[in-house]
Amino acid sequence: MTLGARYYEYKIESQSAVDFPLFDRGFVAASLDEIQARSFDPSLGQEDDGNLFKFNTSYAFNSDLNVYLTVSEGFRIGGVNGGGECDEYDPNASQGNCLLAPGQQYGPAPDDFAQFDERAYGPDTTRNHELGVKSRWLDGTLTLNSAIYYIEWEDNQLSSATVNASVPITINANGAESRGFEGTFDWLATDNLRITGSFSKTKSELSADVPSLVRTITPPGFTTAFEDGSKGDRLPGSPETQFAISATYYQELSDGAELTYSADYAYQGDILSRTGALGGGYTLPSFGVANARVMYETDNWTVTGYINNLFDKFAETGVQSTPRISQTVEDTTVRSFVVNVLRPRTVGVRFTYSFDEF
C-alpha cells in the first residue's frame, strides 16, 4: 500500500499586448528594457493553492498475478492567452485581434456580451480511478497487463476562439469525464521472435452543459456566432480507439554479428478538432500505418534499412481552423483552412559507429 500527498501554491503575474507592424508604417518594436519596465496587469493575475493525494494498493496472488487499485489527483495551473485587451465597444469602429473581459460588450445586440474571460483561464483538476491486472503466462514468456479507469475532470481547459478575429484561446469548461480500458501484451514466442501489442478504448465527454463554448462564424461572411456545449459531447484531440502490434526476429550470424527484422502496425480512430464537432469542427478520419526495418549489428557499428509508411498511406494528422473559414469573396480567397497530412512512404538507411573508449 502506498499513500502520498502534495501541497502546491502558485502565483501568476502577466501583461500582454498585440501590435500589427504590417499595418503600421511607423511601427517601432519595443526594446527588452521597455517591455521589462511595463507594469503587470492586475486583472490578469491569479494565484491558487491546494492539496493532492495518491492512494495505491496491490495484491499478489502469486509470482505471476498481481491486481492493483490506484486513486490519485492531478492539477494543472491556469495561464493567460496572450494578446491585447479589447477597447470599449464603439459601433463606428472595428475590432481587430483583441481579448474580451467577462461581460464586456462586443456588438449592438442585447446579448452581445462576453460569456467568458478571453484574456486568461484558471486551473483544472482531475481525480483518477484505475483498477488493473499484471500477469505472466506460459512459463513467463507471455506478459498480459490490462486496466480500466475513470477520470473526473473539473474546470477542464478546452480550446475555443475569440469573438473578434476568431483567434484560438483556452477557456475553462464546467467539467468532463473519461472512462476506458487499455491492455498490452509481450510474447516471447521463440528464442528469436518477440511479438508485442497494445489496445485502448476511451470515451471522453463533457459532464455538464457549457453555454457559448464554441466560437464560430456564419458563412457567407465572418459574423461571430456561438454554439453551446452539451453534456455528453465528445472531447476533441484524441481517438476513441487505438491499437498497435509489432514483431521482431533476431538472427545470430556465424561471424558474431546479428540481424534483426522488425515490423509494426499502428491504428487510431477518428479525432474531432472541436468539442462535439461543433462550430464547423473537422473530423480527422481514422487510419493505420505500417513500418519495417532490417538492422545489421556488430560490436562497433550498425546499419539499418527502413521503410516508414510501408503502404504509402495518405492520412490527415492535424487541422488548423475550420472549413467555414475558407471563403471566396469577389473571386478572392480571404481566409484558409489547413489540414496536415502523414509523411508519405520514406525509404532510408542509417549508419552508426561506436568508438572504443580511449
Predicted local distance difference test score (pLDDT) of residue 335: 73
What pLDDT shows up at residue 356? 74
Rounded Cα distance between 224 and 220, Å, is: 11
Confidence of residue 107 (pLDDT cuts 50, 70, 90): confident
The rounded mean pLDDT for the chain is 91
Rounded CA-CA distance 262/247 in Å is 6
pLDDT category of residue 104 using cuts at 50, 70 and 90: very high
- Write down the pLDDT at residue 294: 97
| Residue 18: how many other CB atoms lie within 10 Å | 14
Tens of pLDDT, residues 234-266:
999 999 999 999 999 999 998 888 999 999 999
Q: Where are the domains of the chain?
A: 156-358
Mean pLDDT of all residues in 111-124: 89
How much of the chain, in percent, has pLDDT values that exceed 90? 64
Residue 172 pLDDT exceeds 80: yes
Coil, helix or strand for 45?
A: coil
- Residue 80, classified by CB atoms within 10 Å of its CB into exposed (0-12), middle (13-18) or buried (19+), is buried
Q: Would you place residue 358 in the very low, low, confident or very high pLDDT band (cuts 50, 70, 90)?
A: low
Per-residue pLDDT, 336: 76
- Domain 156-358: which topology? Maltoporin; Chain A (2.40.170)
Instruction: Flag whether pLDDT at 192 surpasses 90.
Output: yes
Per DSSP (E only), the strands in 63-156 are 65-76, 79-80, 120-121, 124-137, 142-154
Task: Give me the pLDDT at residue 19, please.
Answer: 77
| Range 97-101 average pLDDT | 88
